[in-house]
Each structure stands twice: as structure tokens, then as C-alpha cells.
Amino acid sequence: MPGKINFVRSCFFIFLGSTGFIAPASAQQRDYPIQPVPFTQVHVNDGFWQPKMEVNANVTIPYVLAQCKANGRVDNFLRAAKMEPGDKLSEFPFDDTDIYKVIEGASYAMQVKSNPKLDRYIDTLIGIMAKAQEPDGYLYTFRTVNAKKPHEWIGEKRWQNEEVLSHELYNAGHLYEAAVAHYQATGKRTLLNIAIKNADLLTRTFGYGKIEEYPGHQIVETGLTKLYRVTGNKKYLDLAKFFLDVRGPKGESYNQADKKVVDQHEAEGHAVRAAYMYTGMADVAALTGNQQYLHAIDDIWDDAVDKKLYITGGIGSTNNGEAFGDAYQLPNMSAYAETCAAIANVYWNSRMFLLHGDAKYIDILERTLYNGLLSGVSLTGNRFFYPNVLASMGQHQRSAWFSCACCISNMTRFLPSVPGYVYAHDKNDLYVNLFMSNSSDIMLTAGKVNTIQSTDYPWKGKVDLTLNPAKSSNFTLRVRIPGWALAKPVPGGLYTFMDQHPDPVVISINGKVFNYTTEKGYAVINRKWKKGDVVTMNLPMETEKVVANNLVKADVNRFAFQRGPIVYCLEGPDNRDSTVQNITVNKMAVSNAVYKPEMLNGIEVITAEGKSTKRQLNSSTLLETDQKVTAIPYYAWANRGPSEMTVWIPYEASASMPKPAPTIASTSKVSGSITNKRMLKALNDQYDPQDSKDANMPYLHWWPKQNTAEFVQYDFDKPHTVSESKVYWFDDGPWGGCRIPVSYKVYYKKGDQWVPVKTTSPYVISKDAYNVLNFETVETTALKMEVQLPVDNSAGIHEWSVK
């Protein structure tokens, strides 16, 4: 291995897979009982993953580095280093981490493929960081710049706002992870020295009898355990444990500080912070043997998987705090399911597997990886999702950048590490967890084993694994049987397949069927292996219909298509009139799957016969029209411009959103004191909300405006005689920023003038119901509603109908 660390004499290193750990074996004995095979030892030549990793290396990483320069991230360090004048900074105190994360991703990518130009640029960035670091090791550009008007989040002195908003320790955690990755990739100590100097400052500053505070946003815990593994310095592990133990119980559930960590048994609060903390707890538990941590994260995992997990593997259902919602609260169109949370979910489940050796954790990891995580980046590698919704009316589209760019930079560091989740080993047990074409060299107790995996997964279910031990030897092969292949999409009862009778999973050795036994979800094959032995697994790659637990109200009378590990969705470009919200598919409908190499970089497409629905005037009976329905992999949606999309397909017409009937409102031109056309279209889409805070379909709002007069307006297609207005207000209290308005008035157009209607019933303003206003009949070409917003809140509208 290139490079040396002076204070580590051992030359034997353990590298903990995609998590980026390297550790001197002599420095610490206790660790995860199972060790992943490092991604640097798994050489992927796969038709699915290799192109995605190449796009990340060739497009995403250079793009994000350029965006970090264009959006002030590099200038933050230049100004802190006094290499550039002024005190202007970017928007958020955690923006430094975007540089750290892309350096981590670039380091991983350079391990897969050498890139001297990128290496030189990273060296330049690290040189700037070294100059920005204060003499005692403190590195936090937003304070070091010493701005005339400091950012309101950082407090007057170091660490003052750490438990709330400053993110000083969050920045440190990402610095440590980047430093370990860079050292591992290049052998250079430049960034590692910066990280160690900063970590030494933390060990002098925090601890019992010193500053007894916890990080507001977790990740320093995993960063410190990585530093412990690379240096063997136990004070870093001790500090990681301190940050966990000092947390709670007098804080907030938002950042998991309302209880001591060992007393937490449900997934709560900000989903990224939570999953990073659970990952840190797993690391510290593995390194110290702390059983209380294990019991807590076992219970939390059960809660998350049984009650709070999207079918895509996404976690964090509400944009109120980017947080876990209540049990079974899994809305689709307002789903948050942040890309960072999906990445954190993979980290967490990977650690749970390393602790317990159970395939159920890899089932969740795989589901997240192929769906709710991969959806976060476009096929081109330069457009991104922050939230990953499961339904859209076209209001969601990938962005080139976000002012809070955490998800973008996170993708750069994650994708190169995917091969590190394929294999793991424990003494003489070799685990095969994920399926992608690759070659690898793995060291078992019995000796070195070369593996060659060949497959067209996830489109095809056949996996060939050739084993080439250095010498014939006995060891145990453990091949994961995916839960989806056993009619069990997830552990627990949150989701099930309609068809509970799967075809058998057949495994053969050298062409002969092998009667295997299973343990913890793995086919166990213990034999004497010789060079050239071939294990073939045939997974039943059938199109399944997934249904959710009836307690998930958003998915009642709906199903989702799944084929292998891939969850599907309907998207506008593939379906009639570019509309999918009005589609129904009978739950007994036969589906067909065909691979289309020219479509969306090559995907398997599912088709079935369905119906489209439309409302009609003066009748509750829907008009139905037969049509062909096409579904694509969820990860590939929103790569062809704005469009409708849904993962959950109604099999009952009552669950669909029919096209509107031709009413006065639905045929009107909508305008208002906002310019967002999609929000304006929500006024007349004829969706009846469940309550005022219903976010399952689009709605109009004026947030963040407060205490202002706003308006919406219907210009009719022709003169109409009207005498009634019905409005349903949007109010997302108590946590959101919208409340019912203080007052409103309706006007009709008379010539060029707006005239108040003469009411025959009072103006009523109430939540969770249509507010009906009757007035003397007028013939007009337009109606306008003026709305007075509350003093301290905004307001919004679900629906406005006219009669």
C-alpha cells in the first residue's frame, strides 16, 4: 500500500468495504464479525452498474466540482485562507461539506480508475484547506472568515450553536470521511493530517468535564470511527461514543435528542440525521461490544421497516423537518424520501448486516439502492432530485443544483463504492449479497479465492458465479436468496405480493441441481471447492403486483409493479394524453415485460391493459376508456422533461383521479398573484381533499408571504350565469406555514370593472370543508377571489369551484 503513517507500525490493514475504513489489525481487536470485501477489490464489468459509475466519474464529479466553484464553496476556503479578499460566503454553514464529499467521491473514483488531472485539482483544494485551517486545528470557514455580519446560525463563539444549527461537528465528520478516502486512494497524508489536527482539537474540547454537548446533525460519529480505524488512536473512538452517550434526553425528537440513544426504540425526526446516528451506533457497538446500542438500533430498524419505509426504500415521509412521519404515514405526492436519507439507509443496513449476518438487511439495502437512491441522479449525471416523490402532476423535475446541495455531493461519493456491497466474509464464510457482473479476489481462512460473477441482473434472474480458489479447499458459500424471490418484498408486513406462490429458486453446481439449505436468508453451500467450479442461481424474474398494508391510507385500492428488485412507475410520455393519474389497472390484469435497449439507456418495460377515467357533468358515474398502460423503472422517471408520474396504480376507480368534467371552473383560464402554473392548475382539478392539510395532490399556496392581499381569478371560456362559489382552504397547521385566511371576497367582472358579488349567505372561513358562498345571480366572463393572508402565516387553496 502506498504511503505510511508513522505512528502505525503494522503493515496489515483491514479495509471495511464501501464505508472507507482501513485499520491496523494490531491496533484494535474488536470489530464487525463480518467484513465486506473492499470495492477496490471488486472489479465491476456490469451492463447496469458500470455505465452509471462511469457517468459519475466522468460527468457528475467534474460537474459538482465546477458547481462548487461557481456557487462559492471554493471561495469560502479561499477567503478563510486569506487567499481571496472579502467576507462574502455561500448560503449555509454546512456548505464546506460539499467540497469534502466530492473529494471523497473523487478519491473513490480514482481508486477505480487513475485520473492524474483530477488528482492534481484535489491536491490544490487540499492545499487551500490547509491554509484555511486555524493553528489549533479548527476548520470552519464561516467563522474563520470573520465576516462583518456573521451567519445567524453560528453563534458568537465556537460550538455555541452546535446542538442547534452551526453544523461545526457535521462539517468535521465529512472532513474525516474524505480524509480517510483520500489517504486510502493516494497514500498522501495531506488531507489526513488536516483531519487528525481537527480531531485532536475535538478530543481536547469535548468530553465529560469539558464541553458536554452533542452534534446537532450527526455524522461526526462515523467520521471518528473511521479515523480510529486508520490511526489506531482510541481517543477518536472514545469521542464518538461520548457524542452518542451525551445526546438527550432534554433535546428535541427532530434531531433524536429527546431521549438517550439507548432509550430510543422508534425511528423519529430528521431522517438523514437519524440514519447517520444509527450507523454511528452500529460502528461504535461493533468496536466496543456495547449491547445497549444494539438493542436500540434493532428495535428502531423494526419500527422503520414495519411502519415507515416506502416501497422504493425511501425513508422520511414528511417535508416538515425532512422527517419520519407517524406509523404508516406514507403519502406519495408529498413524499420527502430525501436522496441523502436513501444513502444513509444503505449505510445503516450495511452495518446491520455486518452485525447480524441476516439477508433481510441486504433486502432493504438492495431495494433502496435500485430505486429510492438511484432515482436521485439523472441518467445524464448532471440533474438531481432532493426529495424523491412517488407521484407527480408534473410539478416535480430534476434540478441542475440546489442551494442546499447535500444530496448532489452525496451521490458523487456513494456511487463509486457500490461494488463494496457485493461480497463479505467471515473467516471461512463467503457471502454473496448483490448480483452484478464482476471479478474479485477474496481472502478467506482457507486461502485466496478468485470469484467471477456473470449476470444480466436486474433484468434477468440468472446469476453465474465461478469460483477459483488458489488451491482446492473447504469453505462455505452463502448466496443471498432475495426476499422478493420468495414472495416477500420486505421483512415484516408493510408490503406483500398479490401472488404468494413464487416459482422455486434453483441453484446448481457445475450444471447439477443442488438441494441447498437456508440460514438467515442465504443458501448455504459447504463443500470442497476447486478451480473452475460454477454455481448458477436462477431467480424467478416475474412481474409482481405489490400491495401495501391497509393502514397505509395513501395506497388503499392500489398496487405497484415490481420486477426483480426494480419498482416501476407510470409516466406521462409512455401513456395516452401524457396522463397517468386517471389510469386504473385491474389487479388481475396480465402484464408483459420486454427489454428496450434504446429507451432510457436500456430498461425493461412493463405493459398491461387498463382504463382511463373521466368525470362527467351531473353524474357520479365515471366514463371509462380502454387503453394500453406502460410502466418504466422508477429510477428512470423525470429524464424526459416534466410529466405526470405514479408508482401506486389504482385498481379501483375510486382511487384514481379522473380527468375533470367540463365545468365552468375546469374550462376557465386560471391566473393569480402567483405565477406558478402548476399550482394554479390545482384550483380546478376537481380533487376533493381529505382535509385541509392533505398534500396528496397539488394545491396552491402563497408561502412565504404573510399579511398581504392576494388573489386568484377565473376567466371563463364564454359568458356564464353564476350564483355560487365553493372554496376549500389549504391549512397545514400546526407545523406548516399556511393557515386559513383572515377574510376573502368574491368579485365578478362587469365590463372593465370588478364588482363585489351581492351575497345571500355569509362569508364562512373554516378548515376541512368547502366554504360555500351564495350570491345573487350574475352573468359574467370572469370571477376573482381576493384573499387576506394572516398576520403571521401564509394561506393556500385546494380547490375553487363555481356554479
Burial of 551 (C-beta count, 10 Å sphere; 0-12/13-18/19+): middle
Q: Which tens digits make up the pLDDT trace of 484-531?
A: 999 999 999 999 999 999 899 999 999 999 999 999 999 999 999 999
What are 66's three cell numbers?
Answer: 465546477
Tell me the Ramachandran region of residue 328: left when phi exceeds 0, alpha when psi lies from -120 to 50, beta otherwise. left
Amino acid identity, position 606? I
- What are the residue ranges of helices labelled H in 48-167? 49-55, 61-70, 73-80, 96-112, 116-132, 141-144
Q: Which tens digits make up the pLDDT trace of 563-610?
A: 999 999 999 999 999 999 999 999 999 999 999 999 999 999 999 999
What is the rounded distance in angstroms from the CA atom of residue 40 to the CA atom of residue 185?
9
Tell me, what's the pLDDT at 799? 97
What is the rounded distance in angstroms from the CA atom of residue 110 to the CA atom of residue 107?
5
What is the rounded distance in angstroms from the CA atom of residue 101 to the CA atom of residue 90?
17
**DSSP letter, residue 360:** H
**DSSP letter, residue 376:** G
Phi, psi torsion values for 582, nearest 5 degrees: -100, 10
Cβ atoms of 480 and 433 closer than 8 Å: yes
Q: Which tens digits make up the pLDDT trace of 649-708?
A: 999 988 998 988 999 999 999 999 998 888 998 999 998 898 999 887 889 999 999 999
Q: How far apart are the first and last CA of the chain?
A: 77
Tell me, what's the pLDDT at 1? 28
Phi, psi torsion values for 385, nearest 5 degrees: -110, 140
What is the rounded distance in angstroms from the CA atom of residue 221 to the CA atom of residue 244?
8
What is the rounded distance in angstroms from the CA atom of residue 550 to the CA atom of residue 574?
29
Tell me, what's the pLDDT at 441? 97
Where do the domains of the chain lie, and which CATH numbers do they carry?
424-480+504-538 (2.60.40.1180), 543-655 (no CATH), 669-802 (2.60.120.260)
What is the rounded distance in angstroms from the CA atom of residue 126 to the CA atom of residue 136?
17
Cβ atoms of 658 and 577 closer than 8 Å: no
Phi, psi torsion values for 747, nearest 5 degrees: -125, 150
Cβ atoms of 597 and 567 closer than 8 Å: no
What is the rounded distance in angstroms from the CA atom of residue 613 to the CA atom of residue 582?
5
Tell me, what's the pLDDT at 620? 78
| pLDDT under 70: residue ranges of the chain | 1-29
What is the rounded distance in angstroms from the CA atom of residue 308 to the CA atom of residue 30?
33
What are 24's three cell numbers?
Answer: 491496523
The pTM (predicted TM-score) of the whole model is 0.91
Cβ atoms of 439 and 43 closer than 8 Å: yes
**Three-state secondary-structure class, residue 11:** coil
Q: Give the DSSP letter string of 592-639.
A: EEEEETTSTTSEEEEEEEEEEEEEETTEEEEEEEEEEEEEEEGGGTTS
Q: 663 CB contacts (<8 Å, ≥6 apart)?
A: 617, 684, 686, 801, 802
What is the rounded distance in angstroms from the CA atom of residue 259 to the CA atom of residue 253?
8
What is the rounded distance in angstroms from the CA atom of residue 375 to the CA atom of residue 385?
7
**Three-state secondary-structure class, residue 737:** coil
What is the H or E stretch that residue 221 is in? helix 220-231
Cβ atoms of 701 and 743 closer than 8 Å: no
**In degrees to the nearest 10, what's the CA dihedral of 730, 736, 741, 746?**
-30
What is the H or E stretch that residue 524 is in? strand 522-529
**DSSP letter, residue 758:** -
Nearest by Cα to 174 from 413, 377, 375: 413
Cβ atoms of 329 and 266 closer than 8 Å: no
Phi, psi torsion values for 488, nearest 5 degrees: -135, 90
Pairing of β 391-393 and β 644-646: antiparallel
What is the rounded distance in angstroms from the CA atom of residue 478 to the CA atom of residue 517?
10
